[in-house]
Every structure is written in structure tokens, then in C-alpha cells.
Amino acid sequence: MWAIIKFDKKNFQLLKNDLKEKLGADVQFYSPKLRLKKFLKKRICLKEINLLGDYLFCFHKDFSKINILNSLKHSRGLKYFLTDFLKSQKDIREFIIRCKENEDENGFIKSTFFNYKLIKNFELISGPLSNLIFNVIEENKQFIKAYIGNYKVTVSKEKNLFRPV
């Protein structure tokens, strides 16, 4: 049973240790991550961020039991469990499977995870044109053709990350 946990970023390791101590070694954690390339002062800086911010997926077979959840509410580093995760197990599993299918060899989410067809305006969050907004003209498997202002550009899906505006 997967649970969604909001955690304190400063005490993440304490939370993991506390849950393993209370639930045993068969507890699993999953948090999808992105690796961003930013250009700062003519240098490339790599930054790792959690896709879900300060939320985390946690799996244990006993999360369906209310008394187990009540005993975990006061764990160090835990802010709270998201409510109604019991009803959303199918959606949670599908999301985790989709994330794992779109991970690279280092465990970071690739740009193939994002669906570009539904939205037309994006902001680049990595690469040399970061923080610029572009309008999608055309898309194929490897590239997106877009307008940035009056300029027509071709942006690689593999090497750049975008977010909808």
C-alpha cells in the first residue's frame, strides 16, 4: 500500500530511519528527481530537485491499518500523511510506474515524462535559454520547434527541461 507523505526537508534522513525502525526493513521510499543544468557566470551548474517538492511516496503492506498510521503520525521529520491515499492506490501506482519508465540510468526523470501536446506555452528551466518562455509550433520525438519572441528555435527534448506557463 502506497502512502503519500509530506516531510520536513531538513529531517528527511531522520524520517527514513524512524519509519524503518517502526515498520521494519520492508518499507520502501520513492521520490522522483530532476537534474537541471543552469548557466551561472559562464559555468554550467547541475542542480537536483525533487519533482514533488517535499512530498514522498512510501510503501508498506500495513498502511491500510488505521492504528499503524496513528502510531506513525508523530515520527520525526513527518509533517503529515495525505488523506484518502487508500482510495487512490491505482493512480499512485500508475504515476510511479510512469516515473520509473522515464528515468535515466542515474535515476533522474527524463524529459520524455512530460506531455507537450496539451499545452502550447512553456518556460525553459535548463539549458542556455533558461527562464525564457516559448510557444510550441511543432513537436517530434527528439525536438520541439518553437517561437521565442520573434525568433524560431529548435529545442532538444533530451537536453532541456520545460515547465508549462
pLDDT along the chain (165 residues), means of 10: 90 89 87 80 79 89 83 86 84 90 85 68 76 81 83 81 72
- Which CATH class, in words, describes the domain spanning 114-164? mainly beta
Structure confidence at residue 155 (pLDDT): 80
- Contact 59/96 with Cβ under 8 angstroms? no
For the chain, the first-to-last Cα distance in angstroms comes to 34
Q: Is the dihedral of CA 111, 113, 115, 121 positive or negative?
A: negative
| Contact of 29 with 15, CB cutoff 8 Å | no
Question: What pLDDT score does 118 carry?
Answer: 61
Would you kindly state where each structural domain of the chain is located, as residue ranges?
A: 2-110, 114-164
